[in-house]
Amino acid sequence: MILTGFCSALAAGLLIMLLGYVIVQGWGAINPAFLTQLPRPVGVSGGGVANGIVGSAIVIGLATLMAIPIGGLTGVYLAVYGRGLGAEFIRFLAEVLGGVPSIAVGLFAYTILVQPFSHFSGFSAAFAFTVLMLPLMVRTSEEAIRAVPISIREGALALGLPDYGSIIHVVLPAARPLIITGLLLAIARITGETAPLLFTAFGSQFWEVNPGNPMAVLALQIFTYAISPYDDWHRQAWGGALILIFAVLVLNVAARLAVSRRTKKL
Amino acid sequence: MSRGIDTPPAGLETVAVSRGRMTFGQALADRVFRFALRGATAVFVLIIADLFLQLVRGSWEAIVTFGPKFLITSEWNPVTGKFGALPFIYGTVVSSAIAIIVASAVGILAAVFLAEFAPPVIARPVSFLIELLAAIPSVVFGLWGLFVLAPILATTVDPFLQRAFGFLPIFSGAIYGVGLLTAGLLLALMIVPTVAAISRDLILAVPNELREASYALGATRWETVTRVVLPAARGGIIGACVLALGRALGETIAATMVIGNRPAISVSLFAPSYTLSSVIANEFTEATSSIYLSSLLALGLILFVISIVVNSSARVLMWSMLQRTRAR
């Protein structure tokens, strides 16, 4: 019993230590200038990751916009018409896609959105992120709709709503908390992804709000600063890491809250 | 579990429109909705198919130039244009092997503690903390690994291992701090939550009758856990470990930051190495020739295939365990 208790304490303790270390190291780097300024050249002190934060928001926003219709509607399809070999195969494909390493997805985005245009872009990064979000979106939206009791849909049909109306106006709103949870978890996942960005968004030193151009993304900036030989950049990497962890933890907690509020209502 | 809902036969909409149950506008909207559903699903399937196809297409030049020998060649020379995947396969396999051995041990024991021994006041927050570990971005793990773990290993743990077990070839050689052992341990930390969370759920799902029967026969708590509960959950736990292995194999950024970036095979665990994903991450934007790029894409294809095989095996293992418990 002591051994097993020790192991859980080890795992939980390492997490606390890691978080604590990031907070301690990163706190010194965070100040209003850090959050609002562009990166400065090496050797010049100061500067910030503002373009990375904005770039992350744009890339993640675009990815979400693309993932919700494709992933959500596929999940609805599987929930409504989901019997038979074809549907099982699609579910299997979703699982397979969930296990694909993110760098392979980045390579895919490179071959179809960067190579043909000879141009790195924020949009290709958003596409890579969309592909990473899809398995989660498909699975959670299907499960969310299946969790709605069939009596609710039957009631809507009995009251005269057409097929599509019963799903759009009655079942989807009932499934909304679970779908939102899945969406928040998917967003949390891609917020921390760095590998695909290396050859899609590529990074930038400047303000860039056009997704057709290379963009700075926070996760990529952290990586670039971390593997550099400069102490000042290391410090900024810790600051960026703190921001990133904070965003991811907020998303995870929000996802849990979305579900718990639903169960409280019931 | 709610059943899927049947579509009405094709003619029913026209009947519904003519009988006034559905207006023409509603029938049209119904058609559009169903088209949207089918369309989205088709896009989804096409994306996955295209992912595989593009990887194959991009690797084609490397495949026809080097053939299957690509997998067993250990030379990686951008200058002469000779490429082989063996050093990276070695680095990936060894670092992931270290990761899964350490993470299985720690994760399963932690799961046992949380599921069997811990009172709820401890079990709930600790489980929550371990699940939160899974949410941390990999670049943050890499940062911590590079600036905290690697120095600690270089100054205390590695020298100790070399003093105590230096006669073993895996603990010989110079110590740099970054290398296979560091990467393996960092990956272990990253996949422990996967093993622990899934194992804990599986252990909790073992029917209580089994435990009660064991106690009735006079077994102690520990004996019950090791001889009854764990064997009952064994298939699923192995599946969870294989799933975690799949995650470790594909992990890019954290591994890149602590692997040492050396495309060569050495027996020592302290030696810098290179994983499939790390070499792609580091060298892709610097690839100057088309054969170089194609070789990197071929590495991506190898990684893709490995991850599919490992993940599918995990699912099969967990599914077959589910079948066995149902048969009881």
Q: Is the per-residue pLDDT at B72 higher than 50?
A: yes
Please state the separation of Cα B42 from the chain's center in Å: 27
pLDDT, one tens digit per residue, over B98-129 is 999 999 999 999 898 888 888 888 888 888 88
Q: Is the per-residue pLDDT at B6 higher than 70?
A: no
List, as ranges, residues 243-272 from B with C-beta within 8 Å of A. 246, 249-253, 256-257
Question: Cβ of B137 under 8 Å from any chain A Cβ?
Answer: yes
- First CA to last CA distance, chain A: 38
Nearest chain B Cα distance for residue A209, angstroms: 23
- First CA to last CA distance, chain B: 21
Report chain A residues whose CB lies below 8 A from the CB of B307.
99-101, 104
Q: Is the dihedral of CA A169, A175, A180, A182 positive or negative?
A: negative
Question: Cβ of A176 under 8 Å from any chain B Cβ?
Answer: no
Amino acid at residue number B272: P
Closest by Cβ to A198, choosing from B114, B196, B284: B284
Does B307 sit within 8 Å of A90, measured CB to CB? no
Q: Are A55 and A215 in contact (CB under 8 A)?
A: yes
- Per-residue pLDDT at B10: 42
pLDDT, one tens digit per residue, over A105-121 is 999 999 999 999 999 99
Nearest chain A Cα distance for residue B174, angstroms: 22
For residue B20, name the pLDDT band (cuts at 50, 70, 90): low
- Per-residue pLDDT at A164: 82
Q: Are B139 and A22 in contact (CB under 8 A)?
A: no
pTM over 0.80: yes
Amino acid at residue number A185: L
List, in sequence order, the alpha helices (H) in chain B: 12-18, 24-66, 86-112, 120-135, 138-144, 150-152, 158-165, 180-205, 208-216, 221-224, 230-232, 234-250, 253-258, 276-283, 290-327
Residue A202, beta-bridge partner list:
A215
List, in sequence order, the alpha helices (H) in chain A: 2-27, 32-36, 50-67, 73-80, 85-99, 102-109, 122-147, 150-158, 163-165, 172-191, 218-226, 231-265
Report chain A residues whose CB lies below 8 A from the CB of B135.
188, 192, 248-249, 252
Residue A215, beta-bridge partner list:
A202
Q: DSSP class of residue B273?
A: -
- Per-residue pLDDT at A56: 94
List, as ranges, residues 268-297 from B with C-beta within 8 Å of A. 277, 280-281, 284-285, 297
Report chain B residues whose CB lies below 8 A from the CB of A192.
135-140
How far, in Å, are A135, A169, B103, B185 from residue B188 at the CA level?
Answer: 24, 46, 5, 5
Q: Are A239 and A51 in contact (CB under 8 A)?
A: no
- Per-residue pLDDT at B133: 85
Does A194 sit within 8 Å of B137, measured CB to CB? yes
Grouping H, G, I as helix, E, B as strand and the rest as coil, residue A216 is coil
Question: For chain A, which residues make up each domain, given as ranges?
Answer: 47-265
Average pLDDT of span B214-224 = 88
Report chain B residues whose CB lies below 8 A from the CB of A178.
none
Q: Are B194 and B109 in contact (CB under 8 A)?
A: no
Q: Are B153 and B185 in contact (CB under 8 A)?
A: yes
CA–CA gap between residue A93 and residue A91 (Å, rounded): 5
Q: Are A118 and A212 in contact (CB under 8 A)?
A: no
Question: Cβ of B240 under 8 Å from any chain A Cβ?
Answer: no
Token pair of A8, please? 């859980």
Closest by Cβ to A18, choosing from B29, B39, B144: B144
Average pLDDT of span B39-45 = 94
Q: What is the ipTM of this complex?
A: 0.89
The CATH number for A47-265, chosen from 1.20.1560.10, 3.50.30.40, 3.40.1410.10, 1.10.3720.10, is 1.10.3720.10
| Range of lowest pLDDT (A76-85, A99-108, B11-20, B298-307) | B11-20
Q: Are A220 and A200 in contact (CB under 8 A)?
A: no
CA–CA gap between residue B222 and residue A6 (Å, rounded): 15
Instruction: Locate the chain B residue with the closest alpha carbon to A89.
Output: B45
Contacts of A181 (CB under 8 A, 6+ apart): A140, A255, A256, A258, A259
Instruction: Locate the chain A residue with the closest alpha carbon to B250.
Output: A101
